[in-house]
Structure 1
Amino acid sequence: MRFRVCAVVLGLVLAGCSVGGGGDSGERKLVLVTHDSFAMSDDVLKSFERETGITIDVRKLGDAGALTNQLVLTKGNPIGDVAFGVDNTFASRALDEGVFAPYEVKVAGPADYALDDTFRLTAVDLGDVCLNVDPAALASRNVPEPTSYADLVKPEYKDLLVVEDPATSSPGLAFVLGSIAKLGAGWQDYWKSLKANGVKVVSGWEEAYTQDFSGSSGKGPRPIVVSYASSPSAELDDNGNPRTKAVLDTCFRQVEYAGVLAGAKHADDAKKVVDFLLSERFQSQVAEQMYVYPTRKGVSLPAAWQKAAPLPAAPAELPAKEIQRNREQWISQWRGIVEG
């Protein structure tokens, strides 16, 4: 899901955390499996652990796609109790494979993003994957800022764009899905034109944004990157103004979910963790910690987001079932075009 700054890295949160029971101390320990970009305020985590007596062992398993693959492969012997980070580009696969158990959260859940009526996945956050640009770098080349997909195939944008591989990156897949949703049957010709115009493909967001994009701290050579609508809120100058911009006409809505794993050893405590992820306490810090929008209504956002990270009014979307039905074929077709 996604532009991420892992301000707090959650690995084994407390010394001695394990998957097993509480041991002599009587502590209740469970495993939360998630993607590499998950982050949480240490104060928020510790307050939950104090109030519930539950210790959370966070296991990070790569991007959303890698996380989903691991959950499917281990569904007969689940590698955790609760999972967070399966998004709408992969959720239908996890549901079809029976990875998650039904659980209707005890707090007000975001029904707008419900995938079906089984209550197996609950929407926790959302973000919009779209092009980000470095206006100063473009101006130095006398190139105007792009405003749409179509601009990127023009000669003046040759060798300026870096994207992520949709087979290995959740934002990479979201950008391809956005092009399909926007361009319909013409999406393959569009990607042929992007290839001819020098698009660079890398394995994941971290490499694309922090190494190749000129607008990040890495000061890379390319002024256009696939990232998130919220990314500019992390690139502010000394006066609080964003140094980068999101191209809001190229956004695809990405929603991340949490759920109790079927066959979890600590299912009751896992349900409490899902409730916690929807609590105002957790939701109020997802913007600053993970640079995504909370799904809970009425949660305050950082002041900089009003200026630098507006939520797109009409992002592209595709039904989860359509994504599930066509995802592998679309990725294969994309590979044939871009890597062939």
Structure 2
Amino acid sequence: MRAFAHFALAAVICATALPVLAQDTPILKPILNIYTYDGFAAEWGPGPGLKAGFEKTCNCTIEWTTSEDAISNLRKVQLEGTATKADVVLGLDTATSGEARATGLFAPHGLTPEGLVLPWNDAEFVPFDYGYFAFVYDRQKTPNPPTSFEELIALPASFKIVIEDPRSSTPGLGNVLWVEAAYGNRAPEIWKGLKPHVLTMTRGWSEAYGLFLDGQADMVLSYTTSPAYHAIAEDKHNYAYAPFSEGYVAQVEVAGVLKSSDQPELAKAFLAYLTTPEAQKIIPTTNWMYPVIDLGADLPAEFGKPPEKVLTIDEAALAANGRAWVDAALAALQ
């Protein structure tokens, strides 16, 4: 599973006929406004490290504006239009970048990121991390997790999951795409079968994961990389993700520059910085996602290897059918 001036003049004017005396005035740095999601800019997220690293090279100041989720930031920019103060929107993903592109608010970045581990050819957006949606569980409480959506559906209704709303959450939308990619025309059937198992559908990831950690559900929709957080940050090795035989859908998080930015070159420089080794080393143990370049030994072993079986959704198909897929999932859950 964005965010990220003002000038003041100082002068001393003599009250007499004496000459004006020159004084040192502070030179204010340009401001780079970045819209992102709450967790990215939080003190434990990657934002502080990336801010410090970029500010060392740019002679500028990054200011974050945060919302609960990337979709909220997209809606904010859509409402603000060309009057938005944002220079960069950070944290959209491959499920929302098509809609963002269609607004006409984003500018071509003109960059050619090098060393990416992902195939990438996008004129408006640059990737900075990626992961795979998965259901996370506690091995001690659930020693035999379901290994597919169909196996999950077949469990007693007392086996509960927490999922996120696809209208407000990128993991929630990713879950819809996952079911669609795996089952196609059978997707409504799968959603209907999931309904008895859904404890609740939360607005965002944080609330959902909190309910799971509180023991209110057996599994939560999260990422294949979530267990790495528990292992590295908490030294807890009892969390894992359910090995679904259907395969997994990837989420690639991206950043883009607004056409209306008054700092376009600075904004593009920040996008270029995001894929440097310095920036990418910050990502794994703060945003708990895979880096988009090969970090070698700098990527903790707890992250393991990405899943081998990956499902995909074409951007054109998503643009044409995404709303209908979301509506069908919600209708089946009612």
1-side partners of 2:156 and 2:150: how far apart?
12
State the Cα distance separating 1:120 from its structure 2 match. 1.0
Greater shift, 224-233 or 245-254, is seen at 245-254
Q: Is the 8 A contact 1:131 1:251 kept in 2?
A: no
SS in 1 for 2:34: strand
Greater shift, 328-337 or 98-107, is seen at 98-107
2:291 corresponds to 1:289: no
Rate the CA distance shift 1:334–1:45 in 2: closer, same or farther, 3 A.
same
2-side partners of 1:228 and 1:173: how far apart?
13
2:59 corresponds to 1:59: no
Q: Tell me the equivalent position of 2:39.
A: 37
Q: Which amino acid aligns with 1:79?
A: K
Q: Tell me the equivalent position of 2:201.
A: 201
Q: Tell me the equivalent position of 1:28.
A: 30
Q: Is the 8 A contact 1:87 1:256 kept in 2?
A: yes
Q: Which has the larger radius of gyration?
A: 2
Query: How high is the TM-score relative to the length of structure 1?
Result: 0.84
Deviations 1:222-276 (A, max 9, x none): 1111010000112239994621111242521001111211121111111111111
State the Cα distance separating 1:110 from its structure 2 match. 3.4
2-side partners of 1:317 and 1:174: how far apart?
11
Return 5+ residue gaps in structure 2 as ranges: 10-25
State the Cα distance separating 1:95 from its structure 2 match. 0.7
Q: Which amino acid aligns with 2:254?
A: Y
Q: Which amino acid aligns with 2:191?
A: W
Deviations 1:176-218 (A, max 9, x none): 11011001111101111111345532222111111x21xx3xx
Rate the CA distance shift 1:128–1:196 in 2: closer, same or farther, 3 A.
same
Q: Is the 8 A contact 1:115 1:320 kept in 2?
A: no
Q: Tell me the equivalent position of 1:123.
A: 127
SS in 1 for 2:185: helix
SS in 2 for 1:125: strand
Q: Is the 8 A contact 2:128 2:254 kept in 1?
A: yes
What aligned pairs does 1:238-317 form with structure 2 within 5 A after superposition? 240=235, 242-249=237-244, 251-298=248-295, 300-306=298-304, 310-317=305-312
Greater shift, 163-172 or 70-79, is seen at 70-79
State the Cα distance separating 1:138 from its structure 2 match. 2.1
Return 5+ residue gaps in structure 1 as ranges: 3-8, 12-17
What aligned pairs does 1:228-239 form with structure 2 within 5 A after superposition? 228-236=223-231
Instruction: Indicate the RMSD between aligned Cα atoms, in angstroms.
Output: 2.5
1-side partners of 2:251 and 2:308: how far apart?
14
1-side partners of 2:284 and 2:180: how far apart?
28
SS in 1 for 2:147: coil
Q: Is the 8 A contact 1:92 1:320 kept in 2?
A: yes
Q: Which amino acid aligns with 2:61?
A: T
1-side partners of 2:233 and 2:84: how far apart?
47
Q: Tell me the equivalent position of 2:77.
A: 71
Greater shift, 237-246 or 195-204, is seen at 237-246
1-side partners of 2:97 and 2:233: how far apart?
40
2-side partners of 1:25 and 1:146: how far apart?
60
Identity %: 24
SS in 2 for 1:147: coil
SS in 2 for 1:325: helix
2-side partners of 1:238 and 1:272: how far apart?
31
1-side partners of 2:141 and 2:200: how far apart?
17
What aligned pairs does 1:156-167 form with structure 2 within 5 A after superposition? 156=156, 158-167=158-167
Rate the CA distance shift 1:69–1:232 in 2: closer, same or farther, 3 A.
same
Rate the CA distance shift 1:321–1:79 in 2: closer, same or farther, 3 A.
farther
Query: How high is the TM-score relative to the length of structure 2?
Result: 0.85
2-side partners of 1:115 and 1:232: how far apart?
30
Q: Which amino acid aligns with 1:243?
A: N
Q: Is the 8 A contact 1:31 1:59 kept in 2?
A: yes
Rate the CA distance shift 1:85–1:49 in 2: closer, same or farther, 3 A.
same
Which one of the candidate residues 88, 91, 96 is aligned to 1:85?
A: 91
Q: Is the 8 A contact 1:229 1:251 kept in 2?
A: no
